[in-house]
Amino acid sequence: MSQSGNVRILDGVEVPPFRNLNEFLFTTERYERPPFNDLPKWNNRIMSNLLYFQTNYFAMLAFMFILHTFFSAQDIFIGLIALVAAMGVAIFSSSLNPNIHTMRKDHPLITLGAIIIVAYLFISVLSSVFVVLFAILFPVLLVLIHASLRLRGVANKTTNLAERSGLRTTLMGTILERLGFSIKF
């Protein structure tokens, strides 16, 4: 536990507490159409909500993925295998590691064969790959819609102040920074 009462995980990254369901979903007066003509304000609203409700969002993502897996487990399993194999071959094919580069140069037919086999596997189970992508991206879309529509409250603004000023680091803040979004002032 940190001084702020949040659970700490690797490298001092904090996981904030769950926000109650009433605050998260059911206060209808806290929803408003996003300001489409003011992109910086809309971006600030999304970032603030992603940081404030991050534990709820991660729980929602996990719940929806598990629920989707329950209904189509075989497609999820096959699609994940195809995606991991395709990413593995892509990383192997484009790696700048000298040992891997030498192996590709010494055994070009093995590299070509691996690319062809994985491409065939990927194309033959493309419907399962789409099921996996839907199981991941649909909950992300719902999170972004919620973060766009939900107005920020006073608690939201004050809680995010520590994250944005750099006094604490949360999991969502780390993910957003790795994706190239600046959350600092």
Domain count, the chain: 2
Instruction: Tell me the pLDDT band of 8, cut-offs 50, 70 and 90.
Output: low
How many C-beta atoms surround the C-beta of residue 31 within 10 A? Answer: 12
How high does pLDDT run on average in the chain? 86
Asked whether residue 99 falls in the same domain as residue 131, the answer is: yes
Token pair 């994250």 is found at: 163
Q: What is the DSSP letter of 5?
A: S
What is the per-residue DSSP string for 128-150? HHHHHHHHHHHHHHHHHHHHHHB
Structural domain for 117, as ranges:
73-149
- Asked whether residue 37 carries a pLDDT value surpassing 70, the answer given is yes
Q: Please state, in angstroms and rounded to a whole number, the distance separating the CA atoms of residues 129 and 181.
A: 28
In a domain, 64, yes or no: no
Q: Please state, in angstroms and rounded to a whole number, the distance separating the CA atoms of residues 121 and 99.
A: 27
Asked whether residue 2 falls in the same domain as residue 33, the answer is: yes
Asked whether residue 98 falls in the same domain as residue 145, the answer is: yes
In a domain, 60, yes or no: no
In a domain, 68, yes or no: no
Asked whether residue 161 falls in the same domain as residue 125, the answer is: no
Amino acid at 29: E
- Asked whether residue 129 carries a pLDDT value surpassing 90, the answer given is yes
What was the pLDDT predicted at 5?
61
Q: Please state, in angstroms and rounded to a whole number, the distance separating the CA atoms of residues 181 and 30.
A: 25
Asked whether residue 83 falls in the same domain as residue 143, the answer is: yes
